[in-house]
Each structure stands twice: as C-alpha cells, then as structure tokens.
Amino acid sequence: MEIVVPSQMKQATVGHSVVQASRPCSVLPPVLFGIGVSLDHSYGSRALLDMLSRFGFCITYDEVNRYKQSAVQCSDHELSLASLDAFTQWSADNVDHNVNTLDGTGSFHGMGIVSMSTARSRTISAHFSEISVPRLQRVNVAAIVKNRGIPIMTYISSGKSALSSLIFKPLEEVKFTYEPDVSVSPLYDLVWHASWWFLDCEHPRPNWSGYMQHVSKPFRECPPAADIRMLPIMDMNPNDINCIFSTLYFLEKQASLLNFNCVTFDQPLWLKAIEVVQATGLNVVCRLGSFHVVMSFLGSIGTIMAGSGLDDALKSCFGPVTVKHMLTGKAESRAVRGHFLVDAALHWFEFKVTIITAC
C-alpha cells in the first residue's frame, strides 16, 4: 500500500475499506465510521449512506442509527463532567430548527441547555472529555426517551414583581483588593499604540487580541479545551415563564451534584430568570451571557458619548445605518473595530502633540 499510494491518509482510508469489505460483520473501521456519522450529520440522507456503504466507502445507515441510539442511551453523559477539579456552568437559550427547509413550515422553537466544563489543568483535561460510547442494542424510541426529559413546573406568581424587592449593595461593599497580573501591564498598551509610528506595508500593526496573546503567552498557560455537552431540549416557548422556571429548577438539581450553580442567559431571558429566582428562592446564580455583556457595554458607550462627535468619526469608515447600530451595541464586531480605530486615532494625535511639545 505504501508503494502504490503515497499519501498516509489515503493509505489508512483504503486499508480500512479493504478490511471492511473482507470482514463486514466483525469490523467497524474508524475512518469509514467517522465518514458515515459526518455525512449523516451534514445531509441526513439514508440513500446516500446506503449507496456509499455498498461501494465500501462508509458504514451503513443502520450502523449510524445504532450509534446515535447508543449515544442517547449512554448514562455517562450525565455528569462525568462533575469533577471538583473542573469549573462547570450551564447556558440556556432559544433553539430553532427548520424541519422543512424549503418554506420553514413546522419549525421547532424551544429551550436548549448546554453544560460547559473547564478543567483546572491540562493533566486533568487529558481524560476529561474522552468518553467512549458503548455499542448498545437497538430499542424503540419510546424506551430511549423515557424519563429523559425535563419535568415541566408551573410558576405561580405572587402578583408583585420580584425585581422590585432586589436591593443592591453599596459600591464600597463590593470592592475588593486586586493584585494585577504580571502579564497585564499598562506598558503593553503604550507599546501597542506607539507601534503605529513604526509600521509599514511589510510590518503592519497587529490586532489588539493577537498582540496581547503574543505578549502574555510566556506568563500563563493556555486554558484547556472545555467539555461542552447538550442536555435535553424543552419543547416550549423559551419566553414562557413556566419554561424558564422549569429550566432553573432542573439546573438547580444538576448543580447540587457539583456544589456550584451558575447559569447564563441572553438579555431577555436573563431578566425573567432573575425575577423567577428572586421570587422562588432557587439556589441558582444567573449571569448575563458574555456576548450580551459586551453589547450592553458598547450600548452604554453610545449613550454616554451621544453628541460628542463619535458618530461622525465612525461614519468616516462605516455607513450611517451601521453606525447607528454600532452605538446601540447591535453590530458588535464592527463596534469593537470602530472603537479601536477611534482610540488609535486619539492616541496618535496625543503622541504627535507630545512629540511636538517636547521638541
């Protein structure tokens, strides 16, 4: 095989095809298995899988279906992520799926939940997410989904908004002593801005995120990859208060196994979740998703800087309609890019004035 086929990848693929063709009932070649699962995920066509399996290029559709049933039946998905050596939090949001992709009729709209676990060190994460799926017997769908859903709870409101009972602590009470990281220094910020004076076509100034990753790499170890798992989906309107209450109740039970209960929502669901937690006393910490935190921060900049000429500066690079969305925090990627450009321009003028004054 090495003489006829020079590529090692093709050698493995052809070799697995030969083994599968010679021993079809006793071998599941990894390459053909992965091809079959990937094609089913991308196209969902039984005819395509059956055709390729007859040619010896992937496993059969029945074997792919058996793998998916085994993955659902496997009990290891519950909480092998439940390790005190890992940080686990949950995120809940809308799930949309077009059952009919041509006209969108019968689209599914429900509440989806995922868990995200990050190990403290790479030594722990080496076996953290490597969980094998045993090859189990095929069973009826009713037996697979039995007792695997999220129980629906009814939220009974007291008639008074629970948000009105929230009391914010004084700012002085939430302050704490912070020791700056050696990898984060104001000097790095100054060097990045000063590099504008030394750039050329062959050596452009790096983007801020890439620059900070480069300078901080010697001081810190990159975090290990997170283990992300999908929990049962609720066939309810995510904005329904009963759906949110059922989600929080389910996550409280899950979090009790880890002694940590943190869940993130997007902004509309987060406000309702805060109200439910405050009214029912659930032991759950609701956080606003990081993306929506950035959107809220960018929107606050647009509100504070209204009438300052910031919109005129941004319009020199972006269209008027885009700038309007940028200042409200909607066009997040363009807003971050635009604010970096304005910040770089202001520093350029500041350095120019400082140099002229010094001369």
Instruction: Encode pLDDT of 92-146 as tens digits.
Output: 988 887 766 666 667 788 999 988 887 766 655 444 555 678 888 888 878 877 7
Question: How far is 311 from 318, CA to CA, in rounded Å?
Answer: 10
| pLDDT score, position 82 | 46
| pLDDT score, position 175 | 74
Tokens of 36: 């079959």
The region of weakest confidence among 112-121, 281-290, 310-319 is: 112-121
Whether the Cβ atoms of residue 269 and residue 239 lie closer than 8 Å to each other: yes
Q: Dihedral of the CA atoms 71, 75, 76, 81 (nearest 10)? A: 110
Question: How far is 88 from 129, CA to CA, in rounded Å?
Answer: 13
Amino acid at 178: Y
> How confident is residue 24, by pLDDT bands cut at 50, 70 and 90?
confident
| pLDDT score, position 126 | 47
Chain-centroid distance of CA 123 in Å reads 23
Tokens of 224: 């290990």
Q: Are β-strands 108-119 and 227-230 bridged in parallel, bridged antiparallel, or unpaired?
A: antiparallel
Query: Does 307 have pLDDT greater than 50?
Result: yes
| pLDDT score, position 80 | 47
Question: How far is 53 from 146, CA to CA, in rounded Å?
Answer: 32
Strand stretches in the chain, DSSP E: 86-97, 108-119, 227-230, 262-265, 285-288
Give per-residue pLDDT as tens, 174-184: 776 666 555 55
Question: How far is 30 from 58, CA to CA, in rounded Å?
Answer: 10
Count how many Cα atoms sit within 13 Å of the Cα of residue 125 in the half-sphere of its side chain: 16
Query: Does 88 have pLDDT greater than 60?
Result: yes
**Is the model more confident about 307 or about 198?**
307
| pLDDT score, position 122 | 60
How many helices (H) and strands (E) would you count in the chain? 15, 5
Whether the Cβ atoms of residue 34 and residue 67 lie closer than 8 Å to each other: no
Contacts of 121 (CB under 8 A, 6+ apart): 85, 224
Tokens of 317: 């690079």
Query: Does 81 have pLDDT greater than 60?
Result: no
Query: Does 78 have pLDDT greater than 60?
Result: no
| pLDDT score, position 111 | 92
Kindly list the distances between the CA atom of residue 154 and the CA atoms of 240, 280, 287, 352, in Å, as whole numbers in the listed order: 10, 12, 23, 64
Measured from the Cβ of residue 42, the count of other Cβ atoms closer than 10 Å reads: 9
| pLDDT score, position 160 | 79
Query: Does 76 have pLDDT greater than 50?
Result: no
* Angle at the Cα of 284 from the Cα atoms of 256 and 82, rounded to 5 degrees: 35
Query: Does 156 have pLDDT greater than 80?
Result: yes
Question: How far is 74 from 134, CA to CA, in rounded Å?
Answer: 7
Give per-residue pLDDT as tens, 34-71: 999 999 988 888 999 999 999 999 999 999 999 988 88
Query: Does 246 have pLDDT greater than 90?
Result: yes
| pLDDT score, position 332 | 86
| pLDDT score, position 130 | 59
Strand stretches in 254-348, DSSP E: 262-265, 285-288
Query: Does 340 have pLDDT greater than 70?
Result: yes
Query: Does 320 have pLDDT greater than 50?
Result: yes
Whether the Cβ atoms of residue 265 and residue 93 lie closer than 8 Å to each other: yes
Tokens of 128: 């953290």
> How confident is residue 257, by pLDDT bands cut at 50, 70 and 90?
confident
Question: How far is 224 from 230, CA to CA, in rounded Å?
Answer: 19
Whether the Cβ atoms of residue 113 and residue 80 lie closer than 8 Å to each other: no
Q: Which helix (H) or strand (E) holds 96?
A: strand 86-97
Beta bridge partners of 338: none
Q: What is the pTM of this model?
A: 0.70
| pLDDT score, position 178 | 61
Query: Does 342 have pLDDT greater than 80?
Result: yes
**Is the model more confident about 199 or about 304?**
304
